Chains A and B, each alone.
Chain A
Amino acid sequence: MEGTVPDDVPVVLSAEGHHGPVVHDLNEAARSAGVRRGARVVDMRALCPALQAVPASPRGDAAALTRLMFWARRWGPHSATDGADGLVVDTTGTAHLFGGEAALLSDIEARFAGAGVTARVALAPTWGAAWGLARFGPARAVSHDPADLYPLPIAALRLSEETLLLLRRLGLRRVGDLAAIPRLPLMRRFGRAPAWDNPLTRLDQAMGRLAEPIGAPEPPPDFVAQARLAEPVMDPTNWLPGLVQDLVAQMARQDRGCRRLCLSVFRVDGRRRDVRVATAAPSREADHLLRLFQGRLDGLDPGFGFDLIRLAAEATEPLATAQVGLDGNADTALHLSRLIDRLVSRFGADAVSRPLPFESHLPERSQTRADALRDDPPPAPRPDRPLRLFDPPEEVRVLYAVPEGPPALFVWRRQRIAVTRHAGPERIAPEWWRDSPGTRLRDYFRIEDATGRRLWLYREGLAGDGRGGMPRWFVHGVFA
């Protein structure tokens, strides 16, 4: 990946060996000059005097590979690093977006070449088969049958050097040789080997007989602010304002606002505690974000203290710098979203809602809980609907029934209520497309009792409708 060196200069990456530096990796010019991997650098200098040695950086390589892994998600939703030099991308159902599987592989190769990386690519139904084909198969191999692996050398099975040597000594040189012999002796021979080094397990994984899911890691957060502390502390409250300021400054530079924040405290005993807050609209207002954590840090179990506090913006959205109104006030929707954030962070997302009308005649279905930031206009109030609704409806016991109309006397929570005025009925039929068969219709009455209380009463069902016994009466709502 050394892009600055011309291709015709032999270059090796050197790593520390037992007797001085050894060749860790090399370029094409060095390979043609006869340099071998694993040999001492001084020996190879004797072979090729123009050889340049650069210290290898395994950690930098790993970081670069991780970056490439997230970049490779342009071809599929899941990707993971595969060893020190490989990437695996799950392209299930995405090949047609690039014009077919062969075109997908050409695109991958071309884009890696554009990024300065020589890539060998292969596409296969299983991770193991793709691994073997990419390294030992033809260029841009597209395989639909794991049996394509049979002519490849046994090293295509992702096994350690010792196991490979043992297999070669047993006379098994190709994958097909291993697949041809009975499983039982192999199982007996390699029963003690770990799964990643067991030829039978590896063969089964490559053939698709054993599942091998891709553990695709989440991308790292875009914005992180952290504080490393010299001494462990028990309470992160004093560090929080500084971290929030830092994070807000980072987001302001890129015109982003956060939707979700995660505060992680790393305890000295190796545990991590997370506190997450969310915002209804993207925000990078330090005071507001700080307020969301109010009262949320009390539940942190400090143990023996924290020595690292990290604040990460887990989800961000573009947020342009907004002009504050001439009167110094931002707009109403912003204030409302701030209030909702504060309520949600303190009481939970279930506690805060905005009732919205829903197309249904059944009262309990005619209002839904909606996203609190919707700005639909409210419906006009209906005088034949109550102000308050009992959820669920409360059953009453009828003392004095009247054939038509509501009962003249009933008992609600051990109180006798005598009906003096009534209006109705308003018949509401069950919704056959949603209710279970046998749901009874309802006849709603507006009633008033002797003290003036106005209620919404309904009778469930009719006598003799064949859907249960005698009709039951419920009080469902309260009028003004």
Chain B
Amino acid sequence: MSVHVLRPLAPIRQVPDLRAATLAEISCASSLDGAGTGFLMAALPEGPVLWAQDRLTRREAGVPFLPGLGRWLLRADLSRPADVLTAMEDALACPAISAVVGEIWGDPAALDFTATRRLAMRAEAAGRPCWLLRRAGSANASAARMRWRVTAFPSDAGQDDPAAPGDPLWRVELFRSRLSPPGEWLVRHECGEDGTAHRLCFSALAADRAVAEPAAADGGDSSG
């Protein structure tokens, strides 16, 4: 995967490094909103991934579906949020795992500043990205180095069928970050033919989206 930064009319700030080996958090708007999961999948590096979920997330937001993800997953179906945090910490120490994903529903007491700080420090010590997917929670104190808010955005018409949904579009907001300045983008996920050539196109989220559109067609110079 490569991250392509378009050069739109409105100047956009630098795109943050999605592969940073640290704790990042994604807040999803609702359990029908798959934008957070899609953004996460585009950001994960190659290799085995530990995917831990608590019981409420499994029931409310579903389970990862292998034919759609196409990833080597090690699933941990746990019951309590504290168990999810324990499993994530444990997996961060394992050299065979390339990234760790945890999903926690709501604002449990176990998910406090200390717990997230432990995760962040372990992830940085181990050099592996660790992602926390949260739903129905509030943006309370967290030591996540990057905190994202990802929501779905109406897509353009499909290539073959104008009535069908096209490539996914997400509205991505980085509202707290230690690594790069926060910002808000419109991100297009281009899943190429047979799902191999993934790329994320960041463009400025502005009223001039219609103007920025032609720039996307030219393609941009790649960076990051």
Contact = CB atoms under 8 A, between A and B. Distances in A.
Nearest to A450: B154
Nearest to B57: A388
A343 B87 contact: yes
Interface stretch (A9-17, A117-125, A241-249, A415-423): A415-423
Contact of A355 (B66, B78, B86): B66
Contacts of A475: 32
A388 B63 contact: yes
A356 B97 CA distance: 17
Interface stretch (A142-150, A208-216, A333-341): A333-341
Q: Which of A355, A357, A367, A383 has the most CB of B within 10 A?
A: A355
Given A381-B195, A454-B165, A478-B37, A389 B74 contact: no
B91 A339 contact: yes
Contact of B65 (A332, A386, A412): A386
Interface in A367-426: 367, 369, 372, 377-383, 385-391, 412, 417, 420-423
Interface stretch (B111-119, B155-163, B175-183, B212-220): B155-163
Contacts of B94: 335-336, 338-339
A308 B68 CA distance: 54
B37 A387 contact: yes
B78 A480 contact: no
Contacts of A333: 96
B203 to A, nearest CB: 16
Q: Which of B30, B62, B151 has the most CB of A within 10 A?
A: B62
A429 to B, nearest CB: 18
A395 to B, nearest CB: 14
B153 A452 contact: yes
Given A372-B74, A454-B34, A423 B66 contact: no
Which bucket holds chain B's interface residue count?
35 or more
Interface stretch (A24-32, A299-307, A346-354, A465-473): A346-354
Contacts, number: 193
B81 to A, nearest CB: 13
B164 A446 contact: yes
A453 B152 contact: yes
Interface in B51-110: 58, 61-78, 83, 86-87, 90-91, 94-97
A194 B55 CA distance: 56
Interface in A446-480: 446-448, 450-455, 475, 477-480
B41 interface: yes
A479 B74 contact: no
A480 B32 contact: no
A336 B73 CA distance: 12
B191 interface: yes
A448 B194 contact: no
A465 B170 CA distance: 40
A346 B165 CA distance: 43
Given A354-B75, A387-B37, A475-B32, A448 B154 contact: yes
A382 to B, nearest CB: 5
A338 B91 CA distance: 10
A408 B72 CA distance: 37
A173 B165 CA distance: 96
Contacts of B58: 391
Contact of A387 (B32, B41, B158): B41
Contact of B35 (A340, A355, A480): A480
10 contacts: A336-B97, A343-B90, A346-B87, A355-B75, A363-B65, A379-B67, A385-B65, A412-B32, A448-B154, A454-B168
Interface of B: 30-35, 37-39, 41, 48, 50, 58, 61-78, 83, 86-87, 90-91, 94-97, 151-155, 157-158, 161, 163-165, 168-170, 189, 191, 194-196
